[in-house]
Structure 1
Amino acid sequence: MRGFFLLLLLISLSDSSWGKKFRWCTVSEREQRKCAELSKALVAVLPPAAINAFARLSCIKAHSTADCINKIRANQADAITLDAGDVYTAVKQFNLVMVAKELYPDGGCVFAVAVVRNQSLDIRSLHKTRSCHSGARSTAGWNLPMSFLLSRNYLQWYEEQPLSEAISSFFSASCIPGAASLAPELCTLCQGQKSYTRDKNYFCEASENEPFYDSEGAFRCLKRGKADVAFLDHTAILHIDESERESYRLLCADGSRAELADFRRCNLGRGPGRAVVTRHNYRKIARKFLTAAQRLFGRRGREGQRFQLFESSALGGRNLMFRDVTEKLQILSDEVDINQILGLDYVALLKGLGHEGSSMDNSVVRWCCISVGEQKKCEEWALNIKSDPLVCVRAVSMSDCIEKIKRDEVDAVSLDASHVYIAGKCGLVPVAAEYYGETCVPAAGGTKGAAHYETEVLPPVYAVAVVKTSARNVYFGNLSGRRSCHSQIYSPAGWLLPANHTIRASGNQSSHRDFNTAYREYFWKGCMPGARGSLCKVCIGGDEDLGAKPSNQRCAANHNERYYGNMGSLRCLVGDPSGKSFGDVAFLEQHSLLDNIENLERSGWSSGWTAQDLELLCPGGHRAPLAQWRECHLGAVPPSVVMTRPVLTTKIYDFLMKSQETLEANPDSDFQLFESQKYGESDLLFKDLTECLVHTSHLDHRAILGEEFYQLVEAAFNSTQADILQFCKQDVCSIY
């Protein structure tokens, strides 16, 4: 059997490209010894013919991981395993390529944790403390924790300032191996050997010769009392002796602390693990080598008694060549790109932190627009503010905006409450909420500017069902089989809250089914922009005068469909300009309803309609005048929220505050951020009801939505398939 296995291995290795040595790059004496042991083990177990096909493994000693990348580029070495942050640099800046990814017991990712001695420190009180990090631009030691500190505004990063300078100003002293070329101040706590001779200088180098390098080194720095906090990945704390664990705590994102074993709950983010890189022309050879080495010496390798690929303790070290916790290597095909392996969130984070040479000095803000009208309003916004440049980017729906933000194609958008839930599931975070109260209250002290508003209470709007007064036989209980008008698919007032009174009403057999299927079966036909089938039959598409072709825009989930949104749902109910009536009931938000009724005539859509011609359907089965929406509604709708990627929260918030300051200083300006009627629509970019934008980046999206609404929308999406949520569920941390 063993001979048969070796024959198969020989066949898999037989390739004319295997005429050269395969050169692994090492960064310490112990790693060099492990590599040499692997080379000897390969010679011992492979038959002579395989040795000729396989050549020999050669071990190339380098000064640091950066030196290894340079050696691979220069064809002086062939491969190395790197932290995901270094993988991105190697691929994007040095044209190397990934060929394998480490997979751990928890999947393909690591948790970034902040470890302290059992004392009074929390994540909000790290300013001017001493810190040790696994490495410069490393996933757990730099990228994820610094992104977290930036997103909460604990760490200040100013335009035209290098991130390394911001970090050195934040901590009183640090050891961040690999940061010497970025900012020498980030190396003051390091203890590697110093020398004027390049090959003997290991101070602050990304090498095992720097005692505080990597996650084990960062924890060693903390343990020796050199630092107050250590930023590292969770795999390092798995090796801490039980007797020592009570002396340390994790810092949690919410300001609390937890025991080391609680890292899955208490961490600063999750990011991709390490990967093997090589040159493009060496991909095939590298895959063959890694496949052979893993089959022979992996966790279930045929020759595991001779050598263990994922063990380093026999050599007196840890994580030599590969992480010791590695379960297996996932061999990557040529078709897999860096976004699929590192994840869209992580790649966008690295771009935001300047890993492509860009940084916060690239101050353009890209706002997402979903229609011709929004584009026009956004472009006027850009011309009327004194702030960072604003660029207006078109998308086709709120869901498309979420996807574009995740892909780093746009930066921010204001979303309704249901889409805020989706965006939160997609890793986006709140920046500011629309405030619908009467008076905006400046923040205490006014230290952040006159346009910086905060509030303890975020007033909601309400979902209502509107019918014609003349249609006396329409009420809750007999809506099935009628024609319906909805503001849009997934909207709180047009899709989520009406469900309890229609498709999920008592006795309805569709109560636990996919919402979209149930709506199609419940109503005869309707217009729910973004939906399919019978719920698009009533939609009429775009206005050719505004550059939108009706046939192309019909049922689109944006203002180019004239029956989209609150204004559109009302148009659908009263009928098109020819007088043809389409809807029996309209589901929309109560705000601006009277203004929208007036707009029907002002805009030339339809004439003669007044508030007396329309009524509300009440959940109790009766009807009420429009003015009684406080007593007759389908539920409260949390405010819309501006969402972005975590690393951009401060940048987007500052941009919004500068916009508010500029516009408030010019109250007579023709442009108003929270008015849309001049563009022929309502609620463009923001709800017209909005008085101001209030600070919310200190809250998560769940807290803003409120637990009752959050549970409601979560239950809806648990039974409803949504393409955007499937996109958001792509998880690079899972085992493939």
Structure 2
Amino acid sequence: KMRGSHHILLFLIFACCIRAKKMRWCTVSDPEQRKCAELAKALVAVLPPAAVAAFARLSCVRASNTADCIDKIKANRADIVALDAGEVYSAVKQFDLVVVAKEVYTDGACILSVAVVTNRSLDIRSLQGLRSCHSGARWTAGWSLPLGFLLSRNYLTWSKENPLSQDVGAFFRASCVPGAATMAPPLCALCQGQKSYVRQKNYFCESSHNEPFYNNQGALRCLRRGAGDVAFVDHLALESINASERDSFRLLCPDGSQAPLSHYMSCNLGRGPGGGMVTRHNFRKVVRKFISAVQTQFGRLGKKRQRFQLFNSSLSGESDLLFRDATDKLVVLPNDMDVSQVMGLDYVALLKGLGHEGSSLQDSVVRWCCISHAEQKKCEQWALSIKSDPLVCVRAVSMRDCIEKIKRDEVDAVSLDATHTFIAGKCGLVPVVTEYYSKTVMMHLPWFLFSVGVAVAKRFSSNIFIGNLGGRRSCHGYIYSPAGWLLPYRHTLSQEHNSSAPCDPNQVYNTVFWKGCLPGSQGNLCKVCRGGTGEAATKRCTDNHNERYYGNMGALRCLVGDPSGKSYGDVAFLEHHNLVTNILALNSSGWAKEWKQSDFELLCADGHRAALSEWESCNLGVVPPNSIMTRPVLTARVYDFLMKSQVTASSTEFQLFESHRYGESDLLFKDATHCFVHTSHMDYRSILGEEFYAHAEAVFKCTHSDILEFCNQDVCSIS
């Protein structure tokens, strides 16, 4: 009894809070209007008399389609509507509405886009010229994710001179994309809604249940009736397919194969956020309270769910009315949440890339990420030398910062070492090309594409070897570098410090070495670092070229000491690929005169030493090549840009793969690069190789990483 009184009190408080404001729910069909009316009646029936006046004022506003709902809410002729995430984004960005709640399903808050077919001979790589059924224009699973996938694989080409919808209309022989009538009429050719010159009676190709092929169920209906060859829907819609007919449907997988419907977790075209509710800014507090109260009564666990079920449309003869029927609950969002926080950075960047916000200057340029003053100079020379798409050079402070900026759509591309490629892949970025270090161009990825990590000491320091490095001074390229950070810790660097063998490289190096320079680190592993000078002045230990001991060249500088002859490092961990070239460059630069190749030796994993030329048998492990990474929707554009740049650079004074004229090495790309190999059709994991991937995976499971933590907040979890 006390509990009942408590709930009545809550409703009375709620009734006072909303001050009997009318709540107007926007509907897009007669069945939805009926369900909304049933909700209004249910509210009157279950609320205490004192609150009835407030809740009885729920009214249902009939609109012709979802775009009309957005217009009505903006114009204060309706208050709330639930939309697909793609429409939510448009409502927020173009109509200044606000997201107040988000649908959450039994397996998470996000959905997977799947391509469903009945013809067992079809292939995702050859959809051109087929007939397509889509859940809705700009819908996440029916439009944005599949088009993003097709663009990223270069199966669909977009000239950018035309709106994307025009090129999609030319790609498919015929389509039904409800809501696309104003975008591109050919995308409506397969739709079957009633046609009329009277707007309220025109249902043809509208985002309304009166269009038979509207939403996920409509797209499947389009496929079932043989109107289309492929239907783009979300994975939740697959549950509605009866067991008796499931065997007649198949999913198209990214690798060109087909799979049963139950394999949607591994056979899909990408993931994105589920639906959400929008209203006007000045009405959001009232709407939040209203949603919470309605869900308390009629949600999955609602006290009065026998009277009315918010997430069930079966009694109305349709599906997904007001909300998706698969909704488990609504999460009411706090006031200060930006749309990118609600929907995820990957999804927002995808929508921008697909032109959801209209064309902008960003669409015609490639923004490259530079991590130092020297890289900025080289990038600007690159921009002056090319005759293709304009290049804009954007400054960041580290490779990690570049990955975050690409996620945030502040830059477009960057070349990353193998460990950072691993991180970027985990963050949803994809490879475009991979740097090729052999003079012989092959069509596949042979082992000699790879470099190796080596430990180098001065020849006259004869008492230094692997296993005897305790208390020494170390020089590492930078934090997370494959050769300077990821590979060395696996070996017994010091016999006396090997008992616990922690899996965090930072712990190992802090334990083994007296002090060192590991740019991007802190504490003792920064004490040997020098910082930058002149235009590149910066604090010590930053993980970019402004730190003079950064990278392969920096680790070598650290080993030989500064120009005054003062020595800092006892051992340097770096890559072999440009070691001899860097020794010659140090000599000619005045940094370390009279040092030559024979003054250095390699420290082998088994404890002996060897000449630099013996790197194939004396190394610490294989280092996969650098890859240029970007957001999926940009792969074709970045690839075209790089191919044009590669051709232009070979005919101009500017050299894409040369950095010594800027006083550094490996600026923007490794200097050992001969050309780019197209790898956007490959998964980053296969580029890295299973051994390196497994090694990186194990390390990051026990090593804290801010960038991976940042990226993990943005990944949709589907269990």
TM-score normalised by the chain length of structure 2: 0.97
* Superimposed CA distance per residue, residues 708-731 of structure 1 (whole angstroms, 9 cap, x where no aligned partner): 111111111111111111111114
Which amino acid letter does the alignment assign opposite residue 677 of structure 1?
H
1:403 aligned residue:
404
In the TM superposition, residue 361 of structure 1 has moved relative to its aligned partner by 8.3
Correspondence for 1:346: 347
Distance (Å, rounded) in 1 between the aligned partners of 2:641 and 2:649:
12
Quote how far apart the aligned CAs of 1:479 are: 0.8
Question: In structure 2, what is the Cα distance between the partners aligned to 1:601 and 1:140?
Answer: 58
Alignment of 1:363-512 (within 5 A): 363-440=364-441, 459-502=449-492, 508-512=498-502
Partner of residue 580 from structure 1, selected from 550, 562, 566: 566
Superposition CA RMSD, Å = 1.7
The SS at the match of 1:688 is: coil
The answer for the alignment partner of 2:529 in structure 1 is: 539
Asked if 1:678 corresponds to 2:679, the answer is no
Matches within 5 A, 1:515-554: 515-543=505-533, 545=534, 547-549=535-537, 552-554=538-540
Report the alpha carbon displacement of residue 335 of structure 1 after superposing the two structures with TM: 1.3
User: Would the aligned equivalents of 2:468 and 2:494 in 1 still touch at CA under 8 Å?
Assistant: no
The amino acid of 1:514's aligned partner reads: D
Gaps of 5+ in 2: none
Aligned counterpart in structure 2 of residue 651 of structure 1, from 637, 652, 658: 637
Distance 1:456 1:462, change over 3 A: closer
- Give distance in 2, aligned partners of 1:119 and 1:12: 59
Matches within 5 A, 1:104-503: 104-358=105-359, 362-440=363-441, 459-502=449-492
Q: 2:542 aligns with which of 556, 559, 579?
A: 556
Q: Tell me by how many angstroms 1:699 deviates.
A: 0.6
Deviations 1:243-293 (CA, angstroms, capped at 9, x unpaired) = 000001111111111111111111101100000000000001100110110
Q: Give the residue type in structure 1 aligned to 2:26.
A: C
Of 576, 588, 593, the residue aligned with 1:607 is 593
Write the distance in 2 (CA, Å) between the matches of 1:655 and 1:172.
Answer: 30
Tell me by how many angstroms 1:79 deviates: 0.4
Q: Does 1:718 align with 2:706?
A: no
Counterpart amino acid of residue 173 in structure 1: A
- Residue 83 of structure 1 aligns with an amino acid whose one-letter code is D
Task: Name which of 569, 584, 605 aligns with 1:619.
Answer: 605
- Please identify, of 107-116 and 352-361, the stretch whose mean Cα deviation from structure 2 is larger: 352-361
Secondary structure in 2 matching 1:149: helix
Superposed counterparts of 1:76-115, under 5 Å: 76-115=77-116
Q: Is residue 730 from structure 1 mapped to residue 718 from structure 2 by the alignment?
A: no
Match in the other structure for 1:50 = 51
Q: 1:55 offset after TM fit, Å?
A: 5.2
Indicate the SS of the match to 1:559: coil
Residue identity opposite 2:672 in structure 1: L
Look up the equivalent residue of 1:102 and give its one-letter code.
Answer: E
Q: Decide whether the 8 Å contact of 1:504 with 1:512 is kept in 2.
A: no
Equivalent-residue separation in structure 2 for 1:440 and 1:513 (angstroms): 37
Rounded to whole Å, the distance in 2 between the matches of 1:577 and 1:158 is: 53
> 1:693-712: per-residue Cα shift (whole Å, max 9, x none)?
11111111011111111111
Q: CA deviation at 1:734?
A: 4.4
Counterparts of 1:264 and 1:205, CA distance in 2 = 30
Within 1, Cα distance between the matches of 2:310 and 2:605? 66
CA 1:233–1:491 in structure 2 vs 1: closer, same or farther (change >3 Å)?
same
The letter of the residue matching 1:605 is W
Deviations 1:486-540 (A, max 9, x none): 0011111001111111469898234243221222112111000011111111101
Moved more, 75-84 or 252-261: 252-261
Name the counterpart of 1:72: 73
**Relative to 1, partners in 2 of residues 1:118 and 1:242: Cα closer, same or farther, differing over 3 Å?**
farther
Q: Deviations over 1:564-591 (max 9, x none)?
A: 0000000000111222111110000011
* Aligned-pair CA distance for 1:735: 9.2
By how many angstroms is 1:597 displaced? Answer: 1.0
Q: 1 CA distance for matches of 2:590 and 2:9?
A: 77
Aligned equivalents of 1:156, 1:273: Cα separation in 2: 27
Write the distance in 2 (CA, Å) between the matches of 1:490 and 1:384: 32
Give 1:12 shift.
4.2
One-letter amino acid of the structure 2 residue matched with residue 717 of structure 1: F
> Bigger CA drift: 221-230 or 508-517?
508-517
Helix, strand or coil for the counterpart of 1:300?
A: coil
Q: Distance in 1 between the 2:367 and 2:287 partners?
A: 40
Q: Is the 8 A contact 1:342 1:732 kept in 2?
A: no
The AA in structure 2 aligned to 1:37 is E
Q: Is the 8 A contact 2:370 2:668 kept in 1?
A: yes
Instruction: Tell me if structure 1 keeps the 8 A contact 2:371–2:399.
Output: yes
Deviation string 1:592-651 (CA, Å, 9 cap, x unpaired) is 211211222222212121111110001121101111111211111111000000000000
Deviations 1:127-147 (A, max 9, x none): 111110001110000000000
Deviations 1:138-181 (A, max 9, x none): 00000000000000000011131210111111111100001111
Alignment partner, residue 664 of structure 1: 650
Q: Does 1:61 align with 2:65?
A: no
The question of whether the paired residues in 1 share the 8 Å contact of 2:40 and 2:56 is answered with: no
Q: 485-494 or 354-363, which moves further after superposition?
A: 354-363
* Maintained 8 Å contact 1:134/1:214: yes
Question: What does residue 705 of structure 1 align with?
Answer: 688
In 2, Cα distance between equivalents of 1:11 and 1:682: 71
Q: How many residues align?
A: 718
Separation in structure 2 between the aligned mates of residue 523 and residue 369 of structure 1, nearest angstrom = 31
Cα distance in 2 for partners of 1:335, 1:361 equals 27
- d(CA) in 1 for partners of 2:76 and 2:6? 32
Residues of 2 paired with 1:381 and 1:285: CA distance? Answer: 54
- Structure 1 distance, partners of 2:4, 2:606, is 79
CA separation in 1, counterparts of 2:262 and 2:445? 37
Give the Cα–Cα distance (whole angstroms) in 1 for the partners of residues 575 and 339 of structure 2: 42
Residue 8 (structure 1) shift: 3.6
Q: Distance in 1 between matches of 2:136 and 2:494?
A: 53
Kindly indicate whether the alpha-carbon contact (under 8 Å) linking 2:469 and 2:493 is maintained by their aligned counterparts in 1.
no
Contact kept? 1:43, 1:56, Cα under 8 Å? no
d(CA) in 2 for partners of 1:86, 1:591: 50
Percent of aligned positions that are identical = 65
Cα-to-partner distance string for 1:289-317 (whole Å, 9 max, x where unaligned): 10110001111111111111111111111
CA contact (8 A) 2:178 2:207 kept: yes
State how far apart, in whole Å, the 2-side matches of 1:436 and 1:532 are: 33
